[in-house]
Structures are given as structure tokens and as C-alpha cells.
Amino acid sequence: MASGIPYTPKPATDIFTPYQTDIDRRQCKRTVPMKVLALGLGRTGTASLRTALKELGYTDTYHMLSASMENPPDSLCWQDAFAAIYEGKGKFGREEFDAILGHCQAVCDWPAIAFSKELIEAYPEAKVIITTRDVDTWHDSVLKTVNWRNNDPELKLLANMDWGAGLYQPMLAKFFHHFFKDDFEGQGKQIFNDYYQSIREMVPPGQLLEYRVSSGWRPLCEYLGHPIPDVPFPRSNDADGFVQRCRAQNRKQALNVIFRLVVVGVPIMTAALSAGLAYNHYLPKIVLPPLSIFNAATA
């Protein structure tokens, strides 16, 4: 637990986000082999690639959605990774990656790409893919989506009150702090170019697929050794859909907060008020002597 942030279970009152599981992956082990490290930056088609890999039979592909929407306690493992690898607190190696990624045969998107070097070292047997796109359109897409989400005032407010938001938002902020140096607007394009160059230098020629999802199935299947599926290549997670999904998530988490206040807060307030009234009812009455006695004593 390099970050020092303890695990907290999902409140029973979080009924408006039933799709969010509550698995403490710090306690997990690897159950399937890691086969694919898709280390392209988010907003380069990673959501489409995740769906495509599922179609090809890979047992789950880790994605930011895994922490933001599916299992919020995953954020604790990523906080541990940031603390160890970027801040020098504790350790985070294959054993720790196996804990959070052990149920997956592939990984893509952020925050995982902040640890590309460590993932390549931890899983040398895995095939490496980098999804990419034009840097200018990528930057514009991130500004409208993930960077917007990182600065979303609703999410920041909910992080103080809702279980899922309280786990995810600090981790997202930590990612932008370390990976984009708290300046995505100004430094994002340069970081994009530097990042892709670093991957090309880390992975030997012939062991790396640079891939645009617009190319469809063929280059992906040829690289991974799979026949081409008889279905269209998936297209998902456009900018408008991203924002709508996040806003819907905000509303559901706000309803969790309201419901918890109604179910827990109101009964507590009612009990406290009732106890106060009962105390006042049974409190012995202090009877003061007639005022005339004080007047006589001072005469």
C-alpha cells in the first residue's frame, strides 16, 4: 500500500450505481496470462480496441473505464503505482501489476500508459501495440473529454461525498499531475510526441505494431495471429458520448449521496432530536424561591 490510502467498502446505500463492483484488487493474483500491452495514449481508439480484443477472444482488456465506471477500488492500486514509481514510496512491480491486471489478458488506455516502461519490463512475453492518430486532432479530443473530466467541478464536488467518485477523481488528478505535468493544454502535444518516441526506442523493431483503428481488422489480426472476424470493426467512445456518459455518472452518484442522507442522515437527526426532547422532558425542574425572599434579604 505505497500510497497509504486504505480500502473502504462500497456503501449499501449506493443503489443508483449497481454496475459498480467492489473488488479490492490489492488482494488479487494473476488468473490469466498477460498477452497484449496496448500502450497508445487514450483517445487514440483505445475503447474500440478494447472491444475488438474482446471479439478476438481475449479475456478482458483493462481500460480507464475499469476504474472509473466498473470497479472504483482499482484506483487505489493505481495510486499505489504513482506513489511508488513517480514519488519513490514503496514498490510496484510485476506482483502488484498482477494484482490489478491479473484478470486481464490485455491492457490499454490511461492510467496504465503512465507505466509503460514498467509494464514492458514486467511482461516481456506480451505483444506491444501503440494506437495512434494525428497529434492535433488527438489534443483537441482530449481537451473536450478526459481533460474536461479532470477539471469537472461536479466530479470534484462529488469526490468529497460519493464512494466511487472519491476513489476515482484523486487518481485521475494524480495521472494528469505526473504524466501531463499539470499542463495538458500547454505541454500535451510535446508529451504525445516524446511518449511515442520513447516506446519506439524501448521495443525492438518487429515486436511493435503502430496501429490506427481506422485501418480495421487486418493489421491487428495479422500481428496477433488471429483470423479476421466476420463482423465490422467496432467504433466507440466518441467525444459527445464520453461527456454524456460522465454527466450521467455524476447524476447517479449524486443520487447515491442524496439517498444516503435520507436513509442514514435523517434517522440519525430524528433520533438525536427525539433524545433531546426526552432529556428535556425528564430533566428535574429547578424551582426558584419567590422573589420576595431576595427582596427581604437585601432590605
User: Which residue in 97, 121, 120 sits closest to 38, CA to CA?
Assistant: 120
Q: What is the pLDDT of residue 271?
A: 54
Q: Compute the distance between CA of residue 35 and CA of residue 123 in angstroms, rounded to an integer.
A: 8
The CA distance from 175 to 181, in Å, is 9
Is the CB of residue 65 less than 8 Å from the CB of residue 172? no
Alpha carbons 127 and 183: distance in angstroms, whole number: 31
Residue 204's pLDDT is 87
pLDDT of residue 109: 97
| pTM of the model as a whole | 0.87
- Per-residue confidence (pLDDT) for residue 236, from 0 to 100: 81
User: Which pLDDT tens digit goes with each residue over 199-256?
Assistant: 999 998 788 999 999 999 999 999 999 999 999 999 887 888 899 999 999 999 999 9
Residues in the chain where the model's pLDDT stays below 50: 286-288, 291, 293-299
Return d(Cα 164, Cα 162) in angstroms, integer: 6
Amino acid 293: pLDDT: 45
pLDDT of residue 297: 43
The domain 25-263 having CATH identifier 3.40.50.300: the answer here is yes
**C-alpha dist (Å) from residue 15 to 156, 163, 258:** 21, 12, 11
